[in-house]
Amino acid sequence: MTQDSSTHPIHDPVDDPLIIAGKAFTSRLIIGTGKYPSFDDLRNTIDSTGAQIVTVALRRVSMGNQADRTLNCIDTSRIQLLPNTSGARDAAEAVRLARMARAASGHNWVKLEVTPDPVTLLPDPVETFKAAQLLIEDGFVVLPYISADPILARQLQEMGCATVMPLAAPIGTNKGLLTREFIRTIVEQATVPVVVDAGLGAPSHAAAAMELGVDAVMLNTALSTAANPPLMGQAFRLAVEAGRRGYLAGLGRVLDGAVASSPETDRVGANDATTQTKDSQAEPGPPREGATPLTGFLDS
């Protein structure tokens, strides 16, 4: 060891919170609530992930309705409810949905989604920009879902969005981190939290995203379509925590050639370089009893 390991503290999520709009969260995993096999699976998955932000589609729930079964799975005393405008085709529709949610629930947080193409479900950058501007002016905390576009991400954060949420791959595909280099650029220029949203399908994908330095990841399909959603939620929770620790620890260099992991100096039993040189040049001792001398073996 080159230094006392006590100089490097062990990571504690409590001392490394995710801050969004002034609120602190120890979990860096945000999850959705759509397509689960059962409400029990949804409830258990929320618990297994440890998620403290849970998003719900305004088109699928009745905000403010105490009997809504999806909302009943979410303990709002410890979880930030995040309505989303999934299904909105333009800025006007997204703004209308967000205002309806605020009126019904009192929540001013909104995950902004504008996806006019039902085939690709890619976010519309122009309408997303328009809607974000209107919602911020109206007092909303806006978390916009976008393509992995560094220029749009910078414009939205400068406008006042609370986060930017670039996709990793098309929504629902589980293909993983296809936009890695664009996300890396977004992270490098970010002044607000970067949340990778959509396309992550395996815990390893989430760990890789966190190792890039993103602040959180958002999941739905990877959990809800798993054979065992609560167990998959636990796996993603551990992956996100591992990826965050890897990023904070500082990943080792990637090299083209092999480099010995053991030092050539300060070896056990060697006092100094002179001793090592002397030892390396010493005459070999006599062979052990019963051993075949090397020269005899070669001559045979």
Contact criterion met (CB below 8 Å) for 205 and 172? no
- What tokens appear for 198 in the block? 């959509």
| Residue from 35, 111, 175, 278 carrying the catalytic annotation | 111
- From the number of C-beta atoms within 10 Å of its C-beta (0-12, 13-18, 19+), residue 218 rates as buried
* Amino acid occupying residue 103: A
Query: How far is residue 216's CA from residue 175's CA, in Å, rounded to a whole number?
Result: 18
Q: At a CB cut-off of 8 Å and minimum separation 6, what does 17 contact?
A: 24, 25, 26
175 in catalytic set: no
Distances (CA, A) of 39 to 43, 69, 183: 6, 7, 33
- What tokens appear for 57 in the block? 């589609």
Q: What are the backbone angles phi and psi of residue 82, rounded to the nearest 5°?
A: -125, 95
Annotated catalytic residues are 111
